[in-house]
């Protein structure tokens, strides 16, 4: 009889393709990016260590600071809007008795659509000259907007599109949270004659906080790396009005082929995302009861 491998060995063997793949395609590239961010790299030309020069350049680059500003403005507007609308929608859904199945299905559509489709759809709807959005505004007696073509409004417009796409997702997460809240608390509040607003403010909201923070983590990860919809609709423009850090880094890498500098930008952005996630996770763990 062959000597049998230990269970641990066999498990390690089963896990090895996934581990190997993770090392080659995820861990190594991350390490390689960090290494490249300290190099002057040219395709076909090889690379030389240039200390922290890429990072020095970044700190002195006004486009970097613009990207940082655009990223955080877009992040703040979108996160607040999505958490607020998502919670509002979840409360409406939770109170509704009929058609819950249909309504839930309807809510899925925006966030399972490919970003390219979302982008194409809104380009057509928001066209300043012949889009239906301006037609609706004018029918209501409001002035038309330049939407994505306006340097002043482009961030708000992108936030609007992202909020359209992801508020339903937040709503479904919050709905899950609402449905797991203990009913007894509400019965007690009802007996005591507490107002609806007070119930929401002092009972529902605190109990929902961990769920809201989970939603905030997920949205933060996507919003801080905002790329797809902007790249598809404006390419970072008009001018640099929607040039998020992620868009800027991508263009530095694949349009200007300054790989080392692009990696420095991407490493910085990844650090920001990781920092935000750790911060919110810590907050959630502190209040999780």
Touching another protein, residues 19-78 (CB under 8 A): 19, 21-22, 25-30, 32-33, 36, 43
Question: Cβ closer to another protein: 77 or 161?
Answer: 161
From candidates 40, 173, 178, 230, binder to another protein by CB under 8 A: 173
Smallest gap from residue 148 Cβ to another protein (A): 12
Smallest gap from residue 76 Cβ to another protein (A): 19
Smallest gap from residue 258 Cβ to another protein (A): 10
Smallest gap from residue 243 Cβ to another protein (A): 14
Smallest gap from residue 116 Cβ to another protein (A): 5
Q: Which of residues 237-256 bind another protein (CB under 8 A)?
A: 246, 249-250, 253-254
Establish if 281 lies at the interface with another protein (CB under 8 A). Answer: yes
Smallest gap from residue 68 Cβ to another protein (A): 14
Number of residues interacting with another protein: please give it, by CB under 8 A.
Answer: 92
Establish if 84 lies at the interface with another protein (CB under 8 A). Answer: no
Q: Token pair for residue 24? A: 């080659």
Smallest gap from residue 202 Cβ to another protein (A): 20
From candidates 104, 153, 237, 238, binder to another protein by CB under 8 A: 104
Establish if 236 lies at the interface with another protein (CB under 8 A). Answer: no
Establish if 185 lies at the interface with another protein (CB under 8 A). Answer: no
From candidates 68, 156, 209, 232, binder to another protein by CB under 8 A: 232
Angle at 80 between CA 209 and CA 109, to 5 degrees: 90
Question: Cβ closer to another protein: 77 or 266?
Answer: 266
Select from 18-26, 56-64, 145-153, 182-190 the region that touches another protein (CB under 8 A): 18-26
Residue partners of 236: CB distance under 8 A and separation at least 6: 230, 242, 243, 244, 247, 248, 251
């Amino acid at each position: 009889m062959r000597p049998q491998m230990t269970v641990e060995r066999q498990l390690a063997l089963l896990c090895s393709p996934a581990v190997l793949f993770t090392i080659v395609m995820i861990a190594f590239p991350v390490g390689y990016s960090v290494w490249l961010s300290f190099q002057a790299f040219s395709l076909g030309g090889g690379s030389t260590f240039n200390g922290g020069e890429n990072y020095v350049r970044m700190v002195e680059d006004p486009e970097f600071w613009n990207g940082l500003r655009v990223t955080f403005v877009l992040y703040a507007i979108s996160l607040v809007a999505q958490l607020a609308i998502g919670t509002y929608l979840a409360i409406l859904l939770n109170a509704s008795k009929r058609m819950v199945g249909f309504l839930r299905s309807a809510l899925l559509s925006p966030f399972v659509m490919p970003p390219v489709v979302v982008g194409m759809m809104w380009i057509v709807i928001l066209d300043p000259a012949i889009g239906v959005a301006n037609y609706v505004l004018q029918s209501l007696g409001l002035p038309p907007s330049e939407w994505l073509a306006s340097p002043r409004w482009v961030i708000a417009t992108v936030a609007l599109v992202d909020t359209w796409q992801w508020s339903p997702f937040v709503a479904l997460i919050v709905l899950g949270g609402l449905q797991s809240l203990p009913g007894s608390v509400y019965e007690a509040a009802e007996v005591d004659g507490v107002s609806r607003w007070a119930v929401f403010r002092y009972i529902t909201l605190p109990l929902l906080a961990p769920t809201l923070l989970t939603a905030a983590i997920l949205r933060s990860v996507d919003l801080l790396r905002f790329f797809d919809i902007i790249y598809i609709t404006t390419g970072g423009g008009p001018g640099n009005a929607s040039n998020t850090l992620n868009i800027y880094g991508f263009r530095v890498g694949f349009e200007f082929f300054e790989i080392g500098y692009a990696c420095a930008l991407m490493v910085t952005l990844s650090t920001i995302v990781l920092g935000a996630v750790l911060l919110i996770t810590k907050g959630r763990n502190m209040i999780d009861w």
